[in-house]
Structure 1
């Protein structure tokens, strides 16, 4: 009689589906847990095909989510023309506001997105408006949106195919951290960013329509205003983030948000194409600072980094209510008819950003002191 010794090979590359149930499954699970813990202690891969495929997959995710959200200004301008339906600016803005809010609410479930798509979402906001504007005049709005949907479908197959989980989390992350609601620094930052988002998204929604409605530019150039804004935002999301390693995030987000409010106030006096383009570039750049810095600020104000993902998800869900309020709120101020209240809308947007900038400055001074040359 042959004496057989059962062996259980440890092959960490096997998928869960390929593993056969056996009486030593519990030791196998413990071993895999130990390997996962060991991997977590190693630095993330910096280079190589697998690492760059993760970058490509994330690029496509942000390109088709926040990229489309940042392109809503072109949709707003088309809807305002009345070609599909006749509604007030406030009613139309609810479409883009709810779209953006839904993206932010998913942070509660999806966890942290540490770089918030600094560059990729802005690039989507550059390309999609151009595609939409060019196609509407040739194949109509219906087929234009279908083409965008097909492009999104094709490019989203890439992250499905290439994204991989590097380390299995040791435990399920809590969706809510009640202690965050009593953290003064955390709640102060969330409320301040609520105001910043409320003011900033007014620019994203209405700049193109402002140019066309006031005949500052022709219809074709008005379509490119949102493109210019998002292109400038690309640099605002990358360059300041590199600088923040030395200066700290609050030293950048406070003046950046104040400048966003000031540039928005400047729109009250704009009546020439050249001046509109200049203000659009400047406002777009500082908008990148406002959108790109909050993840770094969350890191700075979260002492227990094991709760960072939970707090960031909660924060973005609450801050998203500012996005929900900004577009429709400015639309209510604009009113209906031919004589729209543009100064009032820009005052609402600018005041929100200035208030947020002062709030960030207050957090910076109280938490880190009044000295200028302090990383904060």
Structure 2
């Protein structure tokens, strides 16, 4: 009996659930699940990656709250989105994807609708940070947990398509918010987002068909356990640390790029495209998610993740050289979106490569998300505190850029750790 069988804290295994062994790797039903996952990402990470427009709005309409206090709204939202994964991941392995998706969809709608009535900081915090964050956490891992149930050879590509949902959501949500805000005010802008989430997710529930359903053994379980032996796996530990620094650094440009562009505008000057920088950034990441996912199928997800990490580190540090709020910042937003896209599309595929048993794929994703949650909670507020303390953006830029460099070093160590564990150089 090996250590995985002996350890009482072992998570759900593939034998606990009813899961067919043969994967279709295509077909209408399989691609409909990709569409469902796309929309779940649209309404989870798409919302989270749109927070920059709210950051800029709340700074002028919640004058009693500091810059870093407002950043806590988005940080707590991202924190819960990721932290809930440690509970949601094993439940996905147990076959409860539909129930989780339904709960998340309801919470996201209620959160945005409640935010439309908010006039104080604490009200926004409860509605947008806690309610929307918990809802997004319920749908995020089900979105990527669907793919391994239907795809094998095309898994990386299918996952890449799913994760582009966050890019499209990151374009749609800011544009809808800014458009309705200009015409009808914040109340209806928030309600518009609530109805966008509800309408798109209605299609999700209509086509969602998980192949893995709760087995009899899982029906009797009510608790969720971590797969602690994973923390003795060197590759998993290196990957978890790398993703911690990714999440710690990734959100700073999304939160503060619009403010950076507006800092170059004089009072009364037209803000131009500054209000749409978050949408431009997310539009750039659409190709940045699909292309690395396609490459991962040919060269291995760990190899491609290393290349993406190097590129995003260089691009993020180039933010320091951008000295205008016009063409330069637009170009940076598009380049950062493209370069960082793979940091969202590749992780689930990398975990599927590292995990010894796909029956605990969701559990491992949840464990990585738990680590990432604390990075997302601390990164943007620290950046906001640096901005307030220094009165300039250099601290924010260095925090994000150097964090990406550290991530790259750990991804390189992960690649080295895979030597001898894969056939040839593909990893």
State the TM-score, normalized to the length of structure 2: 0.73
- Are 1:141 and 2:189 matched, yes or no? no
Q: Greater CA deviation, 165-174 or 239-248?
A: 165-174
Deviation at 1:343, TM superposition (A): 0.7
Alpha-carbon distance in structure 2 between the residues aligned to 1:84 and 1:329: 19
Distance 1:188 1:286, change over 3 A: same
Distance 1:307 1:67, change over 3 A: same
**Does the 8 Å CA contact 1:265/1:346 hold for their aligned counterparts?**
yes
Alpha-carbon distance in structure 1 between the residues aligned to 2:345 and 2:21: 27
Partner of residue 317, structure 2: 265
**Does the 8 Å CA contact 1:261/1:353 hold for their aligned counterparts?**
yes
Cα offsets for 1:175-215 (capped at 9, x unmatched): 41111222222112111110011111111111111111233
Partner of residue 46, structure 1: 26
- Are 1:165 and 2:210 matched, yes or no? yes
Q: Which runs of 5+ in 1 are unaligned?
A: 1-33
Cα offsets for 1:287-343 (capped at 9, x unmatched): 11112211122122222333222111111121121111111110111116xx72201
Partner of residue 332, structure 1: 385
Distance 1:215 1:269, change over 3 A: farther
Cα offsets for 1:28-47 (capped at 9, x unmatched): xxxxxx9x95x702323732
Partner of residue 9, structure 2: none
* Aligned mate of 1:227, from 279, 282, 287: 279
- Within 5 A, what are the aligned runs for 1:1-376? 40-44=20-24, 46-48=26-28, 50-80=29-59, 82-111=60-89, 112=141, 113-114=144-145, 115=159, 117-170=162-215, 171-172=217-218, 175-215=225-265, 218-272=270-324, 273-335=326-388, 340-368=391-419, 374-376=425-427
Q: Greater CA deviation, 135-144 or 255-264?
A: 255-264
Deviation at 1:51, TM superposition (A): 4.2
**Does the 8 Å CA contact 2:52/2:258 hold for their aligned counterparts?**
yes
Distance 1:195 1:178, change over 3 A: same
Partner of residue 113, structure 2: none
**Does the 8 Å CA contact 1:258/1:356 hold for their aligned counterparts?**
no
Cα offsets for 1:44-100 (capped at 9, x unmatched): 37323x4454344333322222211111111111122x2233422211111111111
Deviation at 1:218, TM superposition (A): 4.6
Alpha-carbon distance in structure 2 between the residues aligned to 1:46 and 1:255: 28
Alpha-carbon distance in structure 2 between the residues aligned to 1:255 and 1:43: 30
Alpha-carbon distance in structure 2 between the residues aligned to 1:134 and 1:218: 16
Larger Rg: 1
Q: RMSD between aligned alpha carbons?
A: 2.5
Q: Secondary structure at the match of 2:185?
A: helix
Q: Greater CA deviation, 198-207 or 251-260?
A: 251-260
Alpha-carbon distance in structure 2 between the residues aligned to 1:301 and 1:67: 26
Deviation at 1:169, TM superposition (A): 4.2
Q: Greater CA deviation, 340-349 or 274-283?
A: 274-283
Alpha-carbon distance in structure 1 between the residues aligned to 2:414 and 2:36: 36
Alpha-carbon distance in structure 2 between the residues aligned to 1:168 and 1:267: 47
Deviation at 1:121, TM superposition (A): 1.2
State the TM-score, normalized to the length of structure 1: 0.82
Alpha-carbon distance in structure 1 between the residues aligned to 2:270 and 2:252: 21
Alpha-carbon distance in structure 2 between the residues aligned to 1:232 and 1:180: 35
**Does the 8 Å CA contact 2:49/2:254 hold for their aligned counterparts?**
yes
Give the number of aligned pairs: 335
**Does the 8 Å CA contact 2:286/2:338 hold for their aligned counterparts?**
yes
**Does the 8 Å CA contact 1:212/1:218 hold for their aligned counterparts?**
no
Q: Which runs of 5+ in 2 are unaligned?
A: 1-14, 90-140, 146-158
Deviation at 1:149, TM superposition (A): 1.0
Q: Secondary structure at the match of 1:368?
A: coil
Alpha-carbon distance in structure 1 between the residues aligned to 2:32 and 2:233: 38
**Does the 8 Å CA contact 2:296/2:304 hold for their aligned counterparts?**
yes
